[in-house]
Amino acid sequence: MDLSIIINEALEVLKQGGVILYPTDTVWGIGCDACNEDAVRKVFALKRRSGAKSLVLLASDLDMVARYVNRIPPMAIDLVEVNDAPMTLIYPGAAVQTGQAGRAALAPSVVAEDGSVGIRIPRVAAAAEDDRPVSAGAIFCNKLIFKLHRPLVSTSANISGEPAPSVFGEISDEIRNGADYVVPAAASGIFGQAAVRFDDTASGRASQIIKLGLDGEVEIIRE
C-alpha cells in the first residue's frame, strides 16, 4: 500500500478524534491527537491504563515543541542537535488547555502532575558518518505529524503491564480491534518506490528518557 494513502487515511481518523495503531522509531504504538482530550481518554481505555499516568508525545521538530511548552531549556536544543538515537525529553511547563482560546495547548491527560510533558522528535536523517538505516517508522511519523500540525500521542501498543510489541505480529487482537485505524505492516513510497516493512528498521527498544529543568538540571530517567 502506498505511504501517501496510508498517511491521508490515518490523518482523517486523527482529525475525527480517533485512535490509530502505527509504527514509530522504536516499537509499534497507539496514538491520537495530543490536543484532543476525548481521544486521549480512548487511548487510556484501550490500554486499560490509569489516567493518572502521563503519555509520551511525538513532534515533527523543535518549532512544534515550542508551541506546546512554556519554555525550552537551552540544553534541549543541544540534545536534539546531537541526538543519534530515539530520545524523549521531558520538558517543564507544558501548555495545557484551560478553556482560553487563542493558544495551542495540550489535552490535560497527556501532562504529568508536575506540569511536565515528554516529547520525542523521531530521527529522520542520518548523520554523514552514520551508516545505520533511518527508521521507516520515524519517517512515517514525521510526515503524519507535519500534516496534522499537532503532536501525536505515542504509547506502546499493548495492554498496560504486558510486553511492548517490537514487531507488528506481536500486537494482540484486542489492541488491533480496538484501534480506529491500523497502519499496515508494509508500505511503498518511503524510500523511493521500494516496498518497506516498518518492522525492518525499527529499533524494537524503548527510547532514552531525559528530564530537563529550567535552570540546567538534567536527570536520566531511562538510558
What is the mean pLDDT of the segment spanning 10-31?
A: 95
Size of the chain in residues: 223
- Look at residue 57 in the predicted model and tell me its pLDDT: 97
Band (pLDDT 50/70/90 cuts) for residue 34 is very high
**Global pTM value:** 0.90
If residue 147 lies in a helix (H) or strand (E), which one and from where to where? helix 136-148
- Residue 72's alpha-carbon distances to 25, 211, 218, in angstroms, are 23, 12, 13
- Look at residue 100 in the predicted model and tell me its pLDDT: 53
Whether the CB-CB separation of 205 and 163 falls below 8 Å is answered with: no
Tell me which CATH homologous superfamily contains domain 3-222: DHBP synthase (3.90.870.10)
Q: What is the pLDDT of residues 166-206, one digit of tens each?
A: 899 999 999 999 999 999 998 887 766 678 888 876 777 77
Output DSSP code: residue 180: S
- Look at residue 133 in the predicted model and tell me its pLDDT: 64
Q: What is the pLDDT of residues 65-121, one digit of tens each?
A: 999 998 888 888 888 887 777 889 999 988 887 655 556 799 999 999 889 999 999
List the chain domain ranges. 3-222
